[in-house]
Amino acid sequence: MASAGHGNGLINGVVSNKHTATISEVDEFCNALGGNRPIHSILIANNGMAAVKFIRSVRSWAYETFGTEKAILLVAMATPEDMRINAEHIRIADQFVEVPGGTNNNNYANVQLILEIAEITHVDAVWPGWGHASENPELPDALKAKGIVFLGPPAVSMGALGDKIGSSLIAQAANVPTLPWSASHVKIPPESSLITIPDEIYRAACVYTTEEAIASCQVVGYPAMIKASWGGGGKGIRKVHNDDEVRALFKQVQGEVPGSPIFIMKVSSQSRHLEVQLICDQYGNVATLHSRDCSVQRRHQKIIEEGPITVAPPETVKELEQAARRLAISVNYVGAATVEYLYSMETGEYYFLELNPRLQVKHPVTEWIAEINLPAAQVAVGMGIPLWKIPAVRVTSEDPDDGFKPTGGKVQELSFKSKPNVWAYFSVKSGGGIHEFSDSQFGHVLAFGESRALAIANMVLGLKEIQIRGEIRTNVDYTIDLLNVNFYHDDKGLESPADGRRSSESSYRIGDNGTSGGTN
């Protein structure tokens, strides 16, 4: 159960009334733009970087729109561990509610707890962020039953596309190219709804035993990937080159994501990891907000993200965007989403990989290119405002010298000098820290330039400005070296100008501490 936090003035679990004039302004804004549900208060069902970014984005938008950054009340959740380290999201929220500590199933991933807090605080909406409960269809359903807005997709859309097997079946039906996989032969009948896949069709796409996995790998061809449909954050995925490796690794995949269906997919060698950002409203409108290249990865986790895409020709990028729109429209998607693809550098072909039914960690890359505030757009979509009326590098506490093991402890000093083309924000301040249940990611660094080379140079200069002193170890120096090696010696060349603004985000996201689920 939740208890009321007193530091920011939350008394007996009841959110204090906002000024009548501000309420009226939000109502007028919503109604004037064709919305149907003004949102005056939001519970942030997340912590760390997700919560900090959302609070800052909504405050910025509120100030620009209503003349006050406090136009929308922002309520945080706070575990004892978060409070012990003086977590930044608690400090900057309007109010907070204390929740049980420990792993995220006790707090930020606990659907029943989130629902209870939303009810006792009388908020209008809940923002799930990424990781934790953000991809659990039970949360939007539970909130809807109580008349609370979920700032994400409907449960049916989330269930359809948040599942890797289901989304791949839907992609095939929507004429989006897929790699050879264990269900290449499985087709959804043309007359069927894509939102609900019949059980017999879904089961035909799965492999249930080691021998079935071997047989499927032999059909798609080695090397292949054994993947858990519910996996994420680098969990539930293994590359295999022969039958013996399948026998050795199949059980590992099952064990990492217990209960998850398993499927087989062909490995695409010499490929880049490309993706398209979507925002969709409640009326079937879908906007594509540029593209990103997230090919530099470690343990299937993005390290460096950049945008827009330059490795594929413009006509191919346009096809990626059109395919992403078809996919979202086919399941009546609402909210922010990212469609991920593999792009073959050898053949120029692209293949659907998955759809993330939430806002992704690296969304600031797109924000800088598209010049749109994505969390604010999520709030506007939640108000029922049509899209056409909406005005619309991560740093981690990991030690590269110790196998990138997450580290924790006090932070005596953390400082960063912003520059015109480089910006950073952190979930930790001087005097704070990182506890044992924290995500190892605690900062974003973003840089942009008029060319790819300038964006990278600005990023390196920005990273060199970071001063961190304390018990933790970080990936800052490692990332500087990585940028220098992997980008300044890129055989594609860095000096060719790119169309429009370029944005780069640098860091790591690793789920080894098991606190935030599958996050990209």
Amino acid at 174: A
Residue 272 and residue 305 in contact, taking contact as beta carbons nearer than 8 Å? no
Please give the sequence-ordered ranges of beta strands (E in DSSP) within 234-346, or none if there are none: 237-240, 262-266, 271-280, 286-298, 301-307, 335-344
| C-beta atoms surrounding 88 within 10 Å | 23
Please give the sequence-ordered ranges of beta strands (E in DSSP) within 416-494, or none if there are none: 422-426, 433-434, 441-451, 467-470
Q: Which of 429, 430, 487 is nearest to 458 (CA)?
A: 487
- DSSP 3-state of 500: strand
Please indicate whether residue 298 is annotated as part of the active site. no
Residue 476 and residue 459 in contact, taking contact as beta carbons nearer than 8 Å? no
Instruction: Bin 273: left if φ > 0, else alpha if -120 < ψ < 50, else beta.
Output: beta
Phi, psi values for residue 23, rounded to 5°: -60, -45
143's CB contacts (< 8 A; 6+ apart) are 115, 118, 126, 149, 150
Catalytic residue among 59, 358, 394, 509: 358
Angle between helices 48-66 and 20-32 (to 10 degrees): 90
355's CB contacts (< 8 A; 6+ apart) are 161, 162, 167, 327, 328, 337, 338, 339, 340
- 494 CB-contact burial (10 Å; exposed 0-12 / middle 13-18 / buried 19+): middle
In eight-state DSSP terms, residue 217 is: H
Q: How far apart are the first and last CA of the chain?
A: 30
| C-beta atoms surrounding 481 within 10 Å | 11
Q: How many CA atoms lie within 13 A of 121 on its CB side?
A: 33
211's CB contacts (< 8 A; 6+ apart) are none
Give the Cα separation of 108 and 132 in Å (integer).
6
What does the block give as tokens for 273? 């990891």
| C-beta atoms surrounding 474 within 10 Å | 23
CA 502 distance to own-chain centroid: 20
For the chain, the C-alpha Rg in angstroms (whole number) is 22
Sign of torsion, CA 162 163 164 170?
A: negative
458's CB contacts (< 8 A; 6+ apart) are 419, 421, 422, 447, 448, 449, 504
Catalytic positions? 358
